[in-house]
Structure formats: structure tokens, C-alpha cells
């Protein structure tokens, strides 16, 4: 599940990175906003300061320079100057309803709030209190005051609150990551079960709903195909058993009558020879039927292995002796070489099946080379308590199409070459966990360890 942890870790890292980037952007945004607010506030204060600096007296009258009037035109809608008694001693575009003396109470109110909905700014000058006004609804004013203890508490709570928010967000991210990991874990288990040909039914919900649905559909399709293949294989095995049983009785009769005719002295020599050929061909049919049954059982793993310990050197000598005892033509010879170290090795396997397999391989070399050949059988040790068998001949060799069909490189169709003997040997060795290798068309290696 390492790849799931990797996906989950990447998902978690991405979420945390996005979170940190969001926090940094927020901090950067608030800093910019703060500086902007401070800049605007300082600009407003700077404007009224410039206006105040342009005030002067001439002939006992308050006057304002042209630069001062320019600033007023650019930033304000009216202005006035109050003396200590609250009387208006100078004004600029002051509305008539506002041109009256002001009490200390009225001055205190509009210095904190608004004057008739006008946002006003005040500055003390050498001539009195300068009041400037901006357009209505252009500035928001709010007076805030609190104890320093509360301010300190708020200052301490800000980082605590941010830390709490960060922890809460991390918990949410971890929770989402865990759910995502759990969903992927369920998918992985389903894929593993599917690869082992087990039926699955995953919950179709969450972020992996579509994937789970596809896996469930795939599982249903594979289950139906498996059932169809099993019915087909059962029918095939039953058909082979039935055909073998039906052929066995008439074949036994043919073999019996052919044997009697071969020994009948009343028949001519030619008739006895033909009867002998009939008997041999009947035996060949019998062996083919036995091979068909055996390869069917091996293919569907219905042939139990009766494993016992045996000496491979003794097994080879017995097989070759039996071949000579049954009679081989003078054109054929079998050369056996067994490494001395092999004499001490004991293997485990089904001796009857292994005898059949080795006999088929050696017999193939003899049958497919009617003009004669030398068959060489060699056994030498490999690793510890393992043996490598080698069977080769100097005859015509095994056709490439046969080798490719047996190894699966070509499909085994009706047009495929007859490979029953080789197929049985291949299946027997595979059932024992051995490996059969074609080094070339004349040489076969059988390794007792894959």
C-alpha cells in the first residue's frame, strides 16, 4: 500500500500548501489594506494641515492664499474657522444653515461624528479651530475607545485565534485525507481480489464511486466468463471420458482378434503380418486414448501426484532398459551419461508420470527419425540437490512450429501440429514445478528447479 500512502501524502501536502498560501495572501492583503487606509488618512490630515498653513491676517481680516483655495477646491466642499467662543470668523462656501455660532457641545459632537451628515475634519490653528468638510456619504466615521486591558486582550487573542483556526483547518484536511485514503484502500483490496479471480462488490459512494462501479461491473463480467468456461471445460472432460469408455471395449476386441489372427497357423505369412500391423495400430490407438485422458486430467489439475522419493539415476536406467527390452531397431541407439554426483541425489515426484514423460521424449526422437539417430540422455547436478536433464538427438529435430505451439507462442488450434507426447511431458514437468526448455530443435533441458 505504499503507492496509496504516497497519493495520500501528496494530497495532504497539496492541501497544506494551499492553506499556507491562502493565509499568506490574506496577511499580505490585510497589510496592503492597512497601509492604504493609513495613506488615505494621512493624506486627509495632510490636506487640512496645508490649508491651515495658508491662513493669514491682513488688515485685521482672516485671509487664505490662492494655494489654500486650490486645496479646498480639490478636496473639500466647504470650510470655516471658529474662534474660542464658537463664532464663525471666516468661511468658504459654508451653507447658510451652518453659518451660526456653535456651542462647545456641538463642537464636541461634530468633531467625533458628522455635522449635518457632512464628514468634517478639525485642526487647531493660531487663528482658531479650522473645520473642513467633504461631500456627504464620502467618508465613514466611527469613534472607538476602550480600556487598554481590553486592547491587550484582543492583541493576545488574535494569534491564539489564528492558531486555533489553523488547527481546525488541519484537522479538516487530515479527515478528508483519511477518507480519501480509505476509499483508495478499498479500491486496492478490490483490485487484488479481482486479480486472484475472487468476486467483489465494492461500495459505490464517495470520490471513488465511478471507479468502484467499473470494478464491480468487471467482476460480474469475469464471474460470468469463469462460469461459462467451467461449464465448457466440464463438458469437454465429460465428452473425453465418454468417448474413451465407448472406444475401450471394441478396441479390446479388435486387439484380441488381431492377436489371434497373428498366431493362427492356418493363415498365410502375409495375412499374419497384416494382423500384426492391426494389433500394433490398435495399441497405438489405445496409447493415444490414454494420452488424451492424461493430458485432460493434467490440464485441469485432476491428476493427483503420488509423490515419493526416487533416485533420478535409477529412473533413467530403468526407462532406457525398458525401451531396449521392448525392442528398438538397429538404426537407433541411446547413449546415457549420468554424472557421478547425481548418484547421491534423491528427488521427490510421481515416478509413473515422470517415467511416462521421459519415455515420450526419448520415444519421439526414435519415432520421428525412422532412418535412425543417436539419442543422448545426460543428467548432471545443478545447485544443491537439484538435477538438470538433457535429451538430444542428431536426427531431424523438433519443428519450430511445434515448439512455438507448445510454449504458447502460437495458438493451439485444429491446424496446429500433433504434439500430444510433448504436451504430456510439458504438463507432467510443470505439475512437479520443473522447467522444460528448448535450447534448440535438437536439445531439451529439464530443470528440477525453476
**CATH no. for 209-297:** 1.10.287
Residue 337's pLDDT is what? 93
The CA distance from 275 to 263, in Å, is 9
The CA distance from 259 to 6, in Å, is 76
The CA distance from 243 to 78, in Å, is 119
Give how far the C-alpha of residue 354 lies from the chain's centroid of Cα atoms, to the nearest Å.
42
Residue 112's pLDDT is what? 82
DSSP 8-state class, residue 141: -
The CA distance from 3 to 102, in Å, is 79
DSSP string, 51-76: HHHTEEEETTEEEE-HHHHHHHHHH-
Residue 422's pLDDT is what? 80
What is the largest distance, in Å, between two alpha-carbon atoms of the chain?
173
State which residues of the chain have pLDDT below 50.
1, 3, 42, 414-417
Residue 261's pLDDT is what? 78
**CA angle at residue 289 from 360 to 228, to 5 degrees?**
105
Residue 146's pLDDT is what? 59
Residue 279's pLDDT is what? 76
Residue 378's pLDDT is what? 93
Residue 184's pLDDT is what? 78
Residue 302's pLDDT is what? 52
Name the pTM for this structure. Answer: 0.45
Report strand pairing: 373-381 vs 332-338: parallel
Q: Which CATH number fits domain 305-447: 1.10.760.10, 3.40.50.12780, 3.30.565.10, 3.40.1260.10?
A: 3.30.565.10
In the chain, where are the structural domains located?
A: 74-143, 209-297, 305-447
Amino acid at each position: 500500500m505504499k503507492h496509496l500512502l504516497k497519493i495520500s501524502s501528496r494530497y495532504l501536502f497539496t492541501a497544506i500548501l494551499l492553506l499556507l498560501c491562502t493565509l499568506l495572501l490574506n496577511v499580505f492583503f490585510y497589510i496592503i489594506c492597512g497601509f492604504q487606509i493609513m495613506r488615505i488618512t494621512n493624506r486627509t490630515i495632510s490636506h487640512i494641515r496645508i490649508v491651515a498653513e495658508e491662513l493669514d491676517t491682513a488688515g485685521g481680516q482672516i485671509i487664505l492664499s490662492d494655494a489654500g483655495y486650490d486645496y479646498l477646491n480639490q478636496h473639500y466642499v466647504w470650510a470655516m474657522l471658529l474662534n474660542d467662543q464658537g463664532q464663525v470668523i471666516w468661511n468658504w462656501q459654508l451653507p447658510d444653515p451652518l453659518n451660526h455660532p456653535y456651542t462647545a457641545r456641538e463642537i464636541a459632537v461634530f468633531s467625533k461624528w458628522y455635522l449635518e451628515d457632512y464628514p468634517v475634519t478639525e485642526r487647531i490653528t493660531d487663528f482658531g479651530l479650522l473645520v473642513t468638510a467633504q461631500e456627504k456619504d464620502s467618508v465613514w466615521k466611527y469613534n472607538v475607545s476602550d480600556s487598554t486591558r481590553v486592547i491587550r486582550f484582543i492583541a493576545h487573542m488574535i494569534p491564539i485565534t489564528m492558531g486555533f483556526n489553523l488547527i481546525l483547518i488541519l484537522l479538516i484536511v487530515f479527515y478528508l485525507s483519511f477518507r480519501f485514503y480509505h476509499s483508495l484502500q478499498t479500491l486496492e483490496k478490490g483490485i487484488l481480489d479481482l486479480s486472484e479471480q475472487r468476486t467483489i462488490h465494492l461500495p459505490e459512494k464517495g470520490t471513488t464511486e465511478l471507479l468502484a462501479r467499473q470494478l464491480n461491473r468487471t467482476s460480474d463480467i469475469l464471474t460470468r466468463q469463469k462460469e461459462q468456461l467451467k461449464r465448457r471445460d466440464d463438458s469437454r472432460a465429460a465428452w473425453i471420458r465418454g468417448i474413451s469408455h465407448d472406444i475401450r471395449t471394441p478396441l479390446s476386441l479388435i486387439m484380441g482378434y488381431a492377436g489371434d489372427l497373428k498366431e493362427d497357423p492356418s493363415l498365410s505369412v502375409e495375412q499374419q503380418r497384416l494382423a500384426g500391423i492391426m494389433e500394433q495400430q490398435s495399441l497405438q490407438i489405445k496409447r493415444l486414448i490414454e494420452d488424451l485422458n492424461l493430458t485432460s486430467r493434467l490440464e485441469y489439475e485432476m491428476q493427483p501426484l503420488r509423490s515419493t522419493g526416487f533416485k533420478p539415476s535409477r529412473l533413467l536406467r530403468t526407462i532406457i532398459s525398458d525401451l531396449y527390452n521392448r525392442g528398438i531397431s538397429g538404426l537407433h541407439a541411446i547413449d546415457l551419461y549420468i554424472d557421478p554426483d547425481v548418484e547421491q541425489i534423491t528427488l521427490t515426484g510421481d515416478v509413473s508420470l515422470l517415467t511416462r514423460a521421459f519415455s515420450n521424449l526419448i520415444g519421439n526422437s526414435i519415432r520421428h527419425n525412422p532412418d535412425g539417430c543417436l539419442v543422448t540422455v545426460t543428467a548432471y547436478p545443478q545447485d544443491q540437490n537439484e538435477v538438470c536433464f538433457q535429451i538430444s538427438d542428431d536426427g531431424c529435430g523438433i519443428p519450430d512450429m511445434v515448439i512455438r505451439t507448445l510454449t504458447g507462442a502460437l495458438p493451439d488450434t485444429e491446424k496446429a501440429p500433433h504434439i500430444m507426447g510433448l504436451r504430456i511431458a510439458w504438463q507432467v514437468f510443470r505439475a512437479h514445478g520443473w522447467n522444460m526448455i528448448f535450447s534448440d530443435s535438437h536439445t531439451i533441458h529439464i530443470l528440477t528447479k525453476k
